[in-house]
Structure 1
């Protein structure tokens, strides 16, 4: 995998921007001269301030120390003004820096200057399969966090997607640990270059919203190490994340914020983490046990601030001898260490930040444009040639829907969010008539308790008058585009979805439109899989897009019109049916008081490929408006590799079509004669390459031999098994085009 970043500039001329809103008018994100940068190695926490930190701690009262370890407003802890220590301020942010919240409630503060750029949700970012864009994403959101004068950004979120029903699937990255870490590490590096601490979340095995605050997750150690921890380990050891957020759930009996094994033995002793652990909001359940286990900062507990477990109860625990003041000092030291490193105490040379700039919109556009996935294009309806049509029907609620806000959890207060209809109106020539009809309503069954823990129930009965209006629009148009799918009210933190069915009667609606106009393009905008079997029937053209940020509509429409050649790849498997997915095939979701991960290491495509189950669309899948051919796969040598070496795998990729395009070369590894259970294949490398029409490029992927290791539960070490390995090269997990074999000594 390449690990250098060149400043990105491609594609900026394809879009008209609205300009800056309320942030700095200048921005250097990706605008400096092209230079190489290691995006997979962050800056470690410096220990040069330890003497100053010890001096400060010696001057602090116990009450002041406690104030630094718990929320004294909704998103800040206390500082010590007399010693020059400011509040530690935090911001939610996977989609962009959250609007300002009142100090003592969840109500918006009502500021006029807290707008931010809306960035693509995690599904869109990971669908780019482009670590360079992950770095760009982190740099943009880090600069905006810094401009808002926040010290900690509560992002990125990258728990493994275990079930397609997960309420936060739209926000997370992938079902695969390797892809997760290749996106997470550059993201963190980009954030922290802006003197903002990234708080990686949710540590760990926080893979469902159902009973998330209480469920006890049970899984074997090998599964934990091989599937659920690699991205966190890389985020700490390579990205050098300054903060870790402890998750809501339990693991093997203990809450994650009281789990000494996870917080001390793994995170600090094994991985060398030197930063601080902050709880998810209201995820602390004790004083003594949590602090001793390694939690440092308590946030969001549902009590007056002075009653938080790390507030007055902590002071009393020290006075009674249950905790030593030295133990409290250690947590304070970790917080101060981060504050010094991000220049929150001595601000000399601290980054200035920037927000709502034209450059940030360009960066968002670039990310969104590489995320769109072309699923089917059998009649070559795409790209749409605007010079050859007189009319187009634009149909569906998602043609005008916005996604910056919605559901339970963090959104973005943004001034710019271009919808697909707006983009089409701006980009199509005046000679093309746009016939718009909404077609269906987004309606829900009222929740009895205001918080439907297991997904929002929708009203799926169509309004015949609305459908008929859309049918008539389709009939009188040369081509129809249905913008369907989901939204951030339906896919939401705090509630897993009920099933894979499209809500709001959309299956029937799409059928009616296809019958009215055979030249129908179906565009899904969503963050998680749906059952598309009925939608795909008789639908020759199918596109998948995401909750894709301020420029999401522009990027999507530029793909439809052919200004951008699609290059997105699915970061998860889309199943034919829910029961095909491993957590559901094993009847191990959502559990009750506990949930056992019965599928073990066979998560996502590992299950489908090993069990020979056909998916609707496989992991890594995505088409282009051109075609690519792979040939001449080779390695730097075929045998005698040792643990400390790197395998160099090369393949020639030829663009055999008529358009320039980007292809993602994916490298999967198999070992059939293993002494331990293994998946049929595992992703161990990928490279995204731009290849001009008619040209051939050699793509080389480097795979450290240690990436081939499994976790040996007997000696508690990563072990590279000797023998023959097959390296498979393709453009999805189910389309392997070249293979080579190597031998490990």
Structure 2
């Protein structure tokens, strides 16, 4: 009897498989499955999948077996779960995560392998948490150091950002979790971000602000793009005809989904016609809370469905959106090959530490103050609120609830206390004592009763007796610092830190300043401090990373992904008076003209001949390198050919270390104005003491091309070019000329 029952069950199962609908048949091509599922869907089901049903989810098609689709904020970790219809935390105990270093730090590694590791590790955490799309990474260009969200992006150079975003996307999506690259495009302001209309030349748009997005789409095959809050040509970018329909979907052949930023949709007709596929976070008017559970009031919900039924639209635009969403489902929720994922694994902590170690930048090291001499040092004074303040809580949508976060102070103690080093902490200044965001609290008591004068005096008194003084200061993730929603109000350090640093420098020559931030800051005391380190926001492994570098366990190899100006007047956007723009008479829109055009960051340094405090690509090491013997495989190149440059790199010091070889191209006879030089290739190479190695860097026609705005095409022109090679943008000392014999028109 048991045998007969088994046989009957097997027959029914095989019969069901033989008659399986195409849309469920994994052996069929995805596009065929998409079309089959689309034909089976009702209008109500089609509308349901293109807008949110909760704060972070959209509906599947339960009748057809498509599960709900869950998004979550990144890009530095998986954000804790919120209530279905509220921003406050859901109060779960299983939604902690590993916080990875901020993307400025990732970019500072100049190592695409680290980007791949980052994306893969984050994807595993997302999988375990049941997330189908991570809202990140961000690749908007660092235009001004006042940008509140710069810490979430990958610096000022489109080539560097493009090389780093592709492996991040690939690593994340290899887990069956969609990346959603943001914020497309021109999202360079947080203050009044819903009202800023960017006025920019076509050349600057295509050469500076779009290439990293293009690389994510064409090379990374990203499955999601998030529209930005701001406007371009008077259309909001979440439904912008030029950016979405023309450039993204037509020119780049993007086959994924365009997701609105939360509250970034403003109009049904524009959302229908101008390329938006999935609407999130709108409420009822696009900007305010509106009524509870208002998802049917979204612009792509009942209003759109009603307009279709009334004949104002056909289902043609709707079907294109639904096709894209179904394709996303098959890549994620319907992907039977997705692994299970891991949460807070030691491998993820190791990845965070490795990325942080490679991204920390040694800006200055006069008299070899660093690394700390652990054999002779017995008393170290640590000063500064940022030595103890948790930095994973706050900053806006990238705020996280971590399983653990090691502070810089505890990291140094863990490393040095076993060696008999006494470490004392003095606060020095009071910054942000709030340790909560959206219901997540750090649990720290940062209250302080001493006056500012007393705090400085106490720190200076102990500094005079210490072998080393390590100051941890900079910015934090509170409003008007490094934080979503607001830009910085000034370039200088907040909370009176300059005064404190000046006093500490007078008290102890072995002062080490560690700046914790995602932005450059003014350093009027830089000439009086022997050692300066850029420490970024390093996430869960902050303390370990900084201790590793400060004590010499790790030799720093990070390079700046942006120019560090001396003053705001050295920044082209401020030099030309274009930031933050001009309000229109009705005070509803602010026009911000990017008058500097192509000349952002180091391109502006070359054009205006300013002298930055630290150049793009700058970063020191505890060893020394010699870069020599630049060669090129041939002196001429055709538009469909390639050139290979070879250079010898030698470690001439006494420590193992890594150097980043940077190749810039200069067009010596262009018909249109071009920057003096532009980064077009780089490679990070690790060498033992005394070791030397040849490094090869290859370019193709894309490295020689510019965007011809008169014809709307990329082009290259025959003529003379120069390749410049070095380890920083202001000193590419090796040069070789070559000729392009036939351009691409």
User: Taking structure 2 as the reference length, what is the TM-score of the superposition?
Assistant: 0.90
Which residue is 2:65 aligned to? 84
Which residue is 2:734 aligned to? 738
The 10-residue stretch of structure 1 (653-662 or 569-578) with the greater mean CA deviation from structure 2: 653-662
Which residue is 2:358 aligned to? 370
Residue 725 of structure 1 pairs with residue 726 of structure 2: no
By how many angstroms is 1:180 displaced? 0.6
Which residue is 1:23 aligned to? none
Q: Is the partner of 1:116 in helix, strand or coil?
A: coil
Q: Is the partner of 2:733 in helix, strand or coil?
A: strand
Q: Superposition pairs for residues 232-247 of structure 1, below 5 Å?
A: 232-247=213-228
Q: In the alignment, which of 501, 516, 523 is matched to residue 510 of structure 1?
A: 501
Q: Superposition pairs for residues 386-401 of structure 1, below 5 Å?
A: 386-401=374-389
Q: Take 2:76 and 2:138, find their aligned partners in 1: how far apart are those partners?
A: 10
By how many angstroms is 1:314 displaced? 1.0
Which residue is 1:695 aligned to? 691
Q: Take 2:453 and 2:270, find their aligned partners in 1: how far apart are those partners?
A: 59
Q: Is the partner of 1:263 in helix, strand or coil?
A: helix
Which residue is 1:20 aligned to? none
Which residue is 2:6 aligned to? none
Which residue is 1:409 aligned to? 397
Which residue is 2:4 aligned to? none
Q: Is the partner of 1:170 in helix, strand or coil?
A: helix
Which residue is 1:585 aligned to? 575
Which residue is 1:30 aligned to? none
Which residue is 2:490 aligned to? 499
Tell me if the contact between 1:435 and 1:477 (Cα under 8 Å) persists in the aligned partners: no
Q: Take 2:96 and 2:424, find their aligned partners in 1: how far apart are those partners?
A: 33
Task: Report the RMSD for the aligned CA atoms in angstroms.
Answer: 1.7
Residue 385 of structure 1 pairs with residue 376 of structure 2: no
Q: In the alignment, which of 655, 670, 673 is matched to residue 674 of structure 1?
A: 670
Q: Is the partner of 1:565 in helix, strand or coil?
A: coil
The 10-residue stretch of structure 1 (160-169 or 703-712) with the greater mean CA deviation from structure 2: 703-712
In structure 2, relative to structure 1, the CA distance for the partners of 1:92 and 1:46 (3 Å cut) is: farther
User: Taking structure 1 as the reference length, what is the TM-score of the superposition?
Assistant: 0.90
Residue 145 of structure 1 pairs with residue 126 of structure 2: yes
Q: Take 1:46 and 1:565, find their aligned partners in 2: how far apart are those partners?
A: 50
By how many angstroms is 1:54 displaced? 2.4
Which residue is 2:51 aligned to? 70
Q: Take 2:331 and 2:507, find their aligned partners in 1: how far apart are those partners?
A: 62
Residue 596 of structure 1 pairs with residue 586 of structure 2: no
Q: Take 2:126 and 2:591, find their aligned partners in 1: how far apart are those partners?
A: 37
Tell me if the contact between 1:462 and 1:505 (Cα under 8 Å) persists in the aligned partners: no
Q: Superposition pairs for residues 179-190 of structure 1, below 5 Å?
A: 179-190=160-171
5+ residue gaps, structure 1 = 1-44, 446-458
Which residue is 2:706 aligned to? 710
By how many angstroms is 1:175 displaced? 0.4
Tell me if the contact between 1:288 and 1:323 (Cα under 8 Å) persists in the aligned partners: no
Tell me if the contact between 2:394 and 2:400 (Cα under 8 Å) persists in the aligned partners: no
1:239-264 CA-partner distances (Å, limit 9, x unpaired): 00001111111111111122112111
Residue 649 of structure 1 pairs with residue 635 of structure 2: no
Residue 665 of structure 1 pairs with residue 661 of structure 2: yes
Q: Take 2:142 and 2:267, find their aligned partners in 1: how far apart are those partners?
A: 29
Q: Take 1:494 and 1:229, find their aligned partners in 2: how far apart are those partners?
A: 23
Residue 467 of structure 1 pairs with residue 447 of structure 2: no
Tell me if the contact between 1:95 and 1:404 (Cα under 8 Å) persists in the aligned partners: no
Tell me if the contact between 1:46 and 1:341 (Cα under 8 Å) persists in the aligned partners: no
Which residue is 2:270 aligned to? 289
Q: Take 1:654 and 1:407, find their aligned partners in 2: how far apart are those partners?
A: 41
Q: Take 1:418 and 1:736, find their aligned partners in 2: how far apart are those partners?
A: 38
Q: Take 1:46 and 1:171, find their aligned partners in 2: how far apart are those partners?
A: 40
By how many angstroms is 1:670 displaced? 0.8
Q: Is the partner of 1:53 in helix, strand or coil?
A: helix
Q: Superposition pairs for residues 595-614 of structure 1, below 5 Å?
A: 595-614=592-611
Q: Take 2:254 and 2:420, find their aligned partners in 1: how far apart are those partners?
A: 61
Which residue is 1:25 aligned to? none
Which residue is 1:547 aligned to? 537
Residue 354 of structure 1 pairs with residue 342 of structure 2: yes
1:496-555 CA-partner distances (Å, limit 9, x unpaired): 1011110010000111111221221111111101011x2213111111111011112111
Q: In the alignment, which of 621, 624, 637 is matched to residue 621 of structure 2?
A: 624
By how many angstroms is 1:348 displaced? 2.2
Tell me if the contact between 2:184 and 2:213 (Cα under 8 Å) persists in the aligned partners: yes
Q: Is the partner of 1:379 in helix, strand or coil?
A: helix
By how many angstroms is 1:594 displaced? 1.0
Q: Superposition pairs for residues 181-200 of structure 1, below 5 Å?
A: 181-200=162-181
1:465-517 CA-partner distances (Å, limit 9, x unpaired): 22222112212211111111111112101101011110010000111111221
The 10-residue stretch of structure 1 (250-259 or 618-627) with the greater mean CA deviation from structure 2: 250-259
Q: Is the partner of 1:547 in helix, strand or coil?
A: coil
Q: In the alignment, which of 87, 98, 101 is matched to residue 106 of structure 1?
A: 87
Tell me if the contact between 1:669 and 1:682 (Cα under 8 Å) persists in the aligned partners: yes
Residue 230 of structure 1 pairs with residue 211 of structure 2: yes
Q: Take 1:444 and 1:704, find their aligned partners in 2: how far apart are those partners?
A: 52
Matched residue count = 683
Tell me if the contact between 1:570 and 1:622 (Cα under 8 Å) persists in the aligned partners: yes
The 10-residue stretch of structure 1 (54-63 or 200-209) with the greater mean CA deviation from structure 2: 54-63
By how many angstroms is 1:46 displaced? 12
By how many angstroms is 1:599 displaced? 0.4
Which residue is 1:34 aligned to? none
Which residue is 1:481 aligned to? 470
By how many angstroms is 1:443 displaced? 4.6
Greater gyration radius: 2
Q: Take 1:647 and 1:100, find their aligned partners in 2: how far apart are those partners?
A: 50
Q: Take 1:50 and 1:660, find their aligned partners in 2: how far apart are those partners?
A: 51
Q: Is the partner of 1:71 in helix, strand or coil?
A: coil
Q: Take 1:407 and 1:142, find their aligned partners in 2: how far apart are those partners?
A: 22
